[in-house]
Structure 1
């Protein structure tokens, strides 16, 4: 078996108790047989349209020679650099696949104008761009397509020769792109975005960039048979039971890359779990950790640790209570997909919808349409603007006090979400704040780059248990970039996305602190000091 799992503590008790029942209920066979009734009557309509990922290996096989042929054509035309414009499920899987293979792919899942400009100015003459969106209606991806079309034309390059589109058949993007003469790859419309790693969304950008995508499919294929069997050693059943079956439920899952050769898998798992399970006031919060994260030493009763390891260890060598998992990338992608839908059954939720993702999009569109004047800050400290919900800012007059106030609302079962709406390439040090706040709060802390996390943990924040505390970090950028044929700029878009999400969180009664840097480079040290 190409995926192996070791369990201990509450996870082992859950596996021992639950897996026999899953086997008896023929859950693996029914998932593979596209049985939409597994998750209850309320989920059946959605599930009936979203189980195609179980067949991704066979459905995607004919794409491989087409992708490789296009790569040869582009390379022969002088293309040496590939960019992916996509969000959420369209970007996270290709990022893991290419980084693990050691292949360069610029992943542009951003609306920060500085980050977009940096991508546009990077080897444009030898660049090809993949635009990935199920519908094409994603504002971020549409905006990325528009600026690359203009940039290519301005450079005397026909964008039709350099832009490749991945979308669902018959989508507005599919129709428009084909009419304009673009090369289009259609993905399986029966696969939701976060389950699309082994479809055209994962394979086209990865294959064009130079990954051996046939080997990836072969790895998944080698695992598919055992995942379809109702047996006690089925890794999908074991993993699903381990992460969602403990009594009481450990509803935070700390994901630690601990020796695995796979780069960035935790970020992909984060979206898959958070968006699939965080709804109806329930869910499992994935928390991407490093081997030195404070949470690993705090023995939190509601935090299950899973380690992504290089070598399988016998259960007796496990840290007590931990889960360990190892395997090839293709096999792990498919195993996690099975495990998360099993977890959905155990939690009593529909693992295929994302009812609260749209709320932030609606709020963003409203702000872009109305273009109201920015809300004045509650106060300014050293040039840093501070805004927030009323209870967070009551009686507070400086940044350090605001941070202390928002963290004081954290309950014993809560978590902190840090959301950075800045250029993640330019300011990677912001990710350090996760460990700093975790050490201070002694509770799980997630970190997300905006707006990409809106297509990932954003669903959990609004739909999951109402125990989150939110710290937004935004900036007033020193550059901006127009979006062709749109009445707003990238700078206005990212500000509206942050403000829109903050308003929806506030409407859900969540404590929100928004920290706006007016000179990010100069003010980062003060921000980090205040958070720590």
Structure 2
């Protein structure tokens, strides 16, 4: 594992920070799991959140039982692995499986179309991993209930198809015991975003066919170096992240185009944003963006020469080093990297919306299949987008948050016998994520994109707890075929909209500009929105 500085200013700032940390004995103290590092106010939380340092060793205890589960699934022909999990429970397995090129269907959504897409795919050969650290995550609880009903309706015993990963003593463990589900208990002393090498990362990945023992071997190999003052990749990366942020370079552009590791920036995004974005401070990761050369950018490249910092190493070691570096960056910035104090507000607001919908809000503008909610003086949709871009401060960013089916673009109509370029063009023309690139071309400031409610478990903390320089654009869509949640008084579509409304309420309550675009026809609305963006 190697971290290389490729820009002189970064090297100088990192050397200064690393020197101070080394003089204070921080590398060895962190490697030994000293919870006092982040101060008295964080010590109690840190004391129960440093178990990730031991996972390369302790997670090996899972391998025998996990091997038996994999053998049983293969023997029974269960080759469609579905993971129901949010944040740390889904992002690491997705990276592991994409890198290993094995199929994993990830449900980190409340979108009815996306959930139905998974339900309609080989139910007779499906095994579902329900992952929730707290055991009370509303999205995973909903997925579990929906799959239980689907299995029973198909004459399948859910106990033969549902595997639960959770912390000891959680409500989900109790429900799983009563239902007779296979249970893997995770280390309770590991926070969700630091759980890549725990049962949360390993169980679904192993079922999908990834070689998880190699991940642990690679992580174990780098572990001894994390106690050192010299030759410590975690110290080198953490000092670069923290030192750059202190110097005003707090927009972390993640570059991974040339790496064999597939999708690592999405996992890093949650780890860094949720760990550092609080008390008005933080580091904002920006995924899938081209550097602009702005003074507040730090470009970190995964196995590529394009960045200010280059990080090389296998996936298991990358997980360990980024976790260590993020914990150090929190120390440098003076924040507790293990809590998420501003996440609960959006959840509470969601519950209030579900319990009693707020008074109907009238759109300030209707432009074709798009309704606009919020403050705007624009006369059309391109004007709304122009207003949002102009509202971004000189040190700020624009966040686009889409509460939609992130796979819907694959349903786009194709020309007859299309080549790959034509297929890509058709997908992009139907993909809400294309909006990020179009808007980024029209502003020198970073533009981020998150699928809701997935991002609520990652960058959602930074949006509300980090620097107050964000401008927010929500996209919601009409639901034409909803999905009931058995045993609950709401549907998936109702929950999805409530999550969007609840998060917007939290943002506005903090004085952060937030406009919602509602697509009354999803496909036509996305096409109209992308066309409007091209007119800005």
Say yes or no: TM over 0.5: yes
Shift of 1:5: 2.9
Q: Look up the match of 2:82.
A: 83
Aligned-partner Cα distance in 2 for 1:397–1:432: 23
Say yes or no: does 1:422 pair with 2:404: yes
Aligned-partner Cα distance in 2 for 1:169–1:483: 26
Aligned-partner Cα distance in 2 for 1:122–1:138: 24
Q: Residues 318-397 of structure 1: matches in 2 within 5 Å? A: 322-372=308-358, 374-388=360-374, 390=375, 393=376, 395-397=377-379
Aligned-partner Cα distance in 2 for 1:184–1:421: 31
> Which of 412, 415, 421 is residue 394 of structure 2 equivalent to?
412
SS at match of 1:420: strand
Shift of 1:408: 1.6
SS at match of 1:62: helix
Aligned-partner Cα distance in 2 for 1:258–1:12: 23
SS at match of 2:442: helix
Aligned-partner Cα distance in 2 for 1:61–1:248: 41
> Which of 525, 528, 531 is residue 527 of structure 2 equivalent to?
525
Say yes or no: does 1:486 pair with 2:468: no
Shift of 1:373: 5.0
1:6 and 1:325 in contact (8 A); partners too: no
SS at match of 1:245: helix
Aligned-partner Cα distance in 1 for 2:316–2:188: 21
Q: Residues 134-149 of structure 1: matches in 2 within 5 Å? A: 134-149=133-148
Say yes or no: does 1:277 pair with 2:270: no
Q: Residues 214-363 of structure 1: matches in 2 within 5 Å? A: 214-229=213-228, 231-246=229-244, 248-290=247-289, 293=290, 296=291, 298-309=292-303, 322-363=308-349
Deviations 1:63-105 (A, max 9, x none): 0121111010111112111000000000000000000001100
SS at match of 2:300: strand
SS at match of 1:386: strand
Shift of 1:6: 3.3
Query: Aligned pair count?
Result: 513
Name which of structure 1's ranges 161-170 and 26-35 shifts more when overlaid on structure 2: 26-35
Two-structure CA RMSD over aligned residues (Å): 1.3
Aligned-partner Cα distance in 2 for 1:381–1:15: 49
Aligned-partner Cα distance in 1 for 2:257–2:14: 23
Aligned-partner Cα distance in 2 for 1:51–1:266: 22
Deviations 1:311-331 (A, max 9, x none): xxxxxxx56x71111110000
Deviations 1:133-175 (A, max 9, x none): 0122110000000000000000000000000000001111111
1:253 and 1:303 in contact (8 A); partners too: yes
Aligned-partner Cα distance in 2 for 1:78–1:233: 47
Going from structure 1 to structure 2, the CA distance change for 1:403 and 1:46 (only over 3 Å counts) comes to same
Deviations 1:362-395 (A, max 9, x none): 000100011345422122111311101x3xx1x3
Q: Which runs of 5+ in 1 are unaligned?
A: 311-317
Shift of 1:4: 3.8
1:255 and 1:289 in contact (8 A); partners too: yes
Aligned-partner Cα distance in 2 for 1:133–1:374: 33
Q: Look up the match of 1:314.
A: none
1:285 and 1:460 in contact (8 A); partners too: yes
Q: Look up the match of 1:315.
A: none
Q: Look up the match of 2:502.
A: 500
Deviations 1:217-256 (A, max 9, x none): 0010111111122x22210011011111035221110001
Aligned-partner Cα distance in 2 for 1:64–1:374: 52
1:7 and 1:242 in contact (8 A); partners too: no
Going from structure 1 to structure 2, the CA distance change for 1:328 and 1:301 (only over 3 Å counts) comes to same
Aligned-partner Cα distance in 1 for 2:20–2:474: 43
SS at match of 2:106: strand
Deviations 1:246-297 (A, max 9, x none): 352211100011311000000000000000000000000000125xx2xx2x
Going from structure 1 to structure 2, the CA distance change for 1:466 and 1:308 (only over 3 Å counts) comes to same
1:132 and 1:141 in contact (8 A); partners too: yes
Q: Look up the match of 1:128.
A: 127
1:56 and 1:199 in contact (8 A); partners too: yes
2:3 and 2:309 in contact (8 A); partners too: no
Shift of 1:16: 1.7
Shift of 1:21: 2.0
SS at match of 1:448: strand
1:363 and 1:501 in contact (8 A); partners too: yes
Shift of 1:356: 0.5
